[in-house]
């Protein structure tokens, strides 16, 4: 017997309709790449998205066809988010920080037909245009006044002219909620990137789950500034969440230094933000140097890589800004867990609480998780035993675009490639990415723990711990450190800092000091690059010591 309730498909256009009808006056503020600050409302967004949808129809974009974007966080990108998906086409957000060869490969693989891009990326697109054979139309996201007098791109279209040529009388089509809405590629640090194709249903369910109080806790009272780019897994869903709840949005555009962000936080009364740890590094350095305070910021979402406890402490103790540590991946669009405390944690002392906050947290409803050993058997939730994290749920990838890489699932679970432990309150902690694990004499050493400790040293601004080959132990941890300007720390002081904080044999064998750690396209440390460069560091060191007639460090 069926229930007798209305059946309405879960569609991205419904989020926009809701925002227009129920939060129409709420603002969206953008720092434009043209240099000025632009502001309008959800009502304006909805009207322009409808005009854009008509323009896309006129350009010949068919349901299911891919429309690529190379754009910063801004209102025009937001219009594309809704117009492309809402009209039945697929929004493909490309990451402009990738190498142009990789961008061409991805755009061709995805069969993008239209490419919309910000002024900043005109030289990049001009350099790629002849290789982007599948693209029928190139659209520059600006007005006529900012269009280049000349460009090597044939028939370059002007976004504002496309919109101006349409009226806003347009009815969003009633699509199948399982139809594809948007596409993101994994970063491809190992092998070619793979496309993850989200659906309207998965996106709306992800949005419901992520705004909940024990998730990101987003409401109509919020003013959200997503620092995480809209080309990094849908800016963690915030462009959708804002419409669902009617939160004001503030888009920082291309200017992401600490000073500019701080100014925007203050001038627009921002209450929450989101980004990877490396972004917050420069913001915290700026506010510390100028002894600034946040007047309205109440919380920030940190994920993409582990948030060091020292960063959580700096936000919470020095600024009264609550950190929501999250874990997710492209394959989950992206949120899986949030570290939001339970009543059971109320009685913990400061140190125990800090250990809980270092964890990546508990599952959102809609995502189930487990950890398994090498034989695939489920491991206990004792907070100690570590195994590969497997997930399943309504917004977890089922297969990659074009079936790339075969069936990714094992017995209906998606293997994340992350090593994790789960405690008996359901709090998951990532110990490592499987490929970053350090195996010393057959035993695992968690690189994230070692990095978190190094980050707590006052002189350290960035730390990575990698597996370096070792003649006796196979692999040993090698610490790579960037110090804060004007601050010094020696190798010996750095290693002594580990004393009493971990088992002695976990202490890194050596420290390499660098001016900078290479970052990937989403702002994460490229540990594979460090491994390529320093993977033999300890072997060379041992050889040098032997040549000098000294004993090896182990
Ligand atoms: P990539 O890092 O390859 O660009 P994603 O952006 O999808 O791809 O990143 C997903 C991975 O990032 C996860 O599998 C995990 O290794 C890492 N990650 C995400 N959030 C966290 C976190 N809070 N702590 C530790 N690792 C994290």
Please give the pLDDT value at position 549.
Answer: 64
Residue 37 clears pLDDT 80, i.e. is over it: yes
Phi, psi for 14 (deg, rounded to 5): -65, -30
Residue 554 clears pLDDT 70, i.e. is over it: no
Pocket test for ligand 1, best of 186, 194, 235, 304 (most atoms within 8 A of CB): 304
Q: With bands split at pLDDT 50, 70 and 90, how would you rate the model's confidence at 6?
A: very high
Q: What is the mean pLDDT of the chain?
A: 95
Whether ligand 1 lies within 6 angstroms of the CB of 522 is answered as: yes
Whether ligand 1 lies within 6 angstroms of the CB of 312 is answered as: no
- Residue whose CA is at the smallest distance from ligand 1 atom 27: 305
Please give the pLDDT value at position 189.
Answer: 62
Which tokens hold the place of 107?
């755009």
Give Dmax (Cα) for the chain.
84
- Ligand 1 mean position to 200 CA, how many Å? 23
Whether ligand 1 lies within 6 angstroms of the CB of 436 is answered as: no
Whether ligand 1 lies within 6 angstroms of the CB of 336 is answered as: no
Residue 543 clears pLDDT 80, i.e. is over it: no
| Complete domains list, the chain, with CATH | 8-26+39-207 (3.40.50.12780), 436-547 (3.30.300.30)
Average pLDDT over residues 180-186: 97
Whether ligand 1 lies within 6 angstroms of the CB of 435 is answered as: no
Residue whose structure tokens are 């279209």: 157
Whether ligand 1 lies within 6 angstroms of the CB of 110 is answered as: no
Number of C-beta neighbours around residue 300 at 10 A? 28
Active site residues: 186, 331, 439, 444
- Residue whose CA is at the smallest distance from ligand 1 atom 10: 329
- Residue whose CA is at the smallest distance from ligand 1 atom 24: 306
Pocket test for ligand 1, best of 430, 449, 519, 529 (most atoms within 8 A of CB): 430
Kindly give, in sequence order, each residue whose CB lies less than 8 Å from that of residue 54, ignoring residues fewer than 6 positions away: 166, 167, 170
List pLDDT tens digits, range 367-405. 999 999 999 999 999 999 999 999 999 999 999 999 999
List pLDDT tens digits, range 489-521. 999 999 999 999 988 999 999 999 999 999 988
Please give the pLDDT value at position 523.
Answer: 87
Please give the pLDDT value at position 547.
Answer: 67
Question: Do 154 and 38 meet the contact criterion of CB atoms below 8 Å apart?
Answer: no
Pocket test for ligand 1, best of 305, 306, 364 (most atoms within 8 A of CB): 305
Whole-angstrom distance, CA of residue 65 vs CA of residue 84: 9
- Residue whose CA is at the smallest distance from ligand 1 atom 4: 187
Radius of gyration of the chain (CA): 24
Whether ligand 1 lies within 6 angstroms of the CB of 305 is answered as: yes
Which of these ranges, 169-178, 452-461, 525-534, 537-546, has the smallest mean pLDDT? 537-546
Please give the pLDDT value at position 59.
Answer: 98
Question: Do 325 and 339 meet the contact criterion of CB atoms below 8 Å apart?
Answer: yes
Q: H-helix or E-strand containing 206?
A: helix 200-211
List pLDDT tens digits, range 94-144. 999 999 999 999 999 999 999 999 999 999 999 999 999 999 999 999 999
List pLDDT tens digits, range 52-101. 999 999 999 999 999 999 999 999 999 999 999 999 999 999 999 999 99
């Amino acid at each position: 017997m069926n229930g007798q309730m209305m059946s309405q498909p879960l569609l991205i256009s419904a989020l926009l309709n809701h925002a227009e009808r129920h939060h129409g006056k709420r603002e969206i503020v953008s720092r434009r790449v043209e240099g000025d600050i632009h502001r309008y409302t959800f009502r304006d967004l909805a009207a322009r998205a409808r005009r854009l949808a008509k323009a896309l129809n006129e350009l010949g974009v068919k349901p299911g066809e891919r429309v690529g974007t190379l754009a910063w966080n801004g209102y025009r990108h937001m219009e594309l988010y809704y117009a492309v998906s809402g009209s039945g086409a697929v929004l493909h957000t490309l990451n402009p920080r990738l190498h142009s060869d990789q961008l061409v490969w991805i755009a061709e693989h995805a069969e993008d037909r239209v490419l919309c891009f910000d002024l900043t990326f005109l030289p990049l697109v001009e350099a790629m245009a002849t290789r982007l054979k599948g693209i029928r139309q190139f659209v520059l996201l600006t007005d006529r006044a900012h269009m280049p007098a000349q460009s090597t791109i044939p028939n370059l279209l002007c976004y504002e002219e496309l919109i101006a040529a349409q009226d806003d009388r347009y009815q969003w089509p009633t699509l199948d909620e399982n139809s594809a809405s948007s596409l993101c590629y994994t970063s491809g640090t190992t092998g070619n990137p793979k496309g993850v194709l989200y659906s309207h249903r998965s996106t709306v369910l992800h949005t419901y789950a992520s705004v909940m109080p024990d998730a990101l806790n987003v409401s109509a009272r919020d003013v959200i500034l997503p620092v995480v780019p809209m080309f990094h897994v849908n800016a963690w869903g915030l462009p959708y969440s804002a419409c669902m709840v009617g939160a004001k949005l503030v888009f920082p555009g291309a200017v992401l230094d600490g000073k500019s962000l701080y100014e925007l936080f203050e001038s627009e009364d921002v209450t929450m933000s989101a980004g990877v740890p490396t972004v917050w590094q420069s913001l915290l350095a700026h506010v510390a140097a100028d002894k600034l305070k946040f007047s309205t910021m109440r919380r920030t979402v940190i994920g993409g890589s582990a948030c060091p406890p020292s960063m959580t402490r700096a936000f919470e103790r020095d600024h009264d800004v609550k950190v929501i540590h999250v874990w997710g991946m492209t394959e989950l669009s992206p949120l899986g867990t949030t570290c939001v405390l339970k009543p059971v944690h109320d009685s913990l002392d400061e140190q125990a609480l800090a250990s809980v906050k270092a964890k990546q947290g508990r599952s959102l409803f809609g995502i189930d998780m487990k950890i398994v050993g090498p034989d695939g058997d489920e491991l206990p939730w004792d907070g100690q035993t570590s195994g590969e994290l497997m997930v399943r749920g309504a917004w977890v990838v089922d297969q990659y675009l074009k079936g790339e890489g075969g069936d990714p699932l094992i017995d209906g679970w998606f293997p994340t490639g992350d090593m994790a432990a789960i405690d008996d309150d359901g709090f998951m902690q990532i110990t490592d990415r499987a490929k970053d694990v350090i195996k010393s004499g057959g035993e695992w050493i968690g690189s994230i723990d070692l990095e978190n400790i190094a980050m707590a040293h006052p002189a350290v601004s960035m730390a990575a711990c990698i597996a370096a080959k070792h003649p006796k132990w196979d692999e040993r941890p090698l610490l790579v450190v960037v110090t804060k300007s004007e601050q010094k720390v020696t190798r010996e002081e750095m290693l002594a800092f580990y004393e009493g904080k971990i088992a002695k044999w976990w202490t890194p064998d050596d420290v390499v000091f660098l001016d900078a750690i290479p970052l990937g396209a989403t702002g994460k440390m490229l540990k594979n690059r460090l491994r390529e460069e320093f993977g033999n560091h300890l072997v060379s060191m041992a050889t040098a010591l032997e040549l000098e007639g000294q004993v090896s460090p182990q």
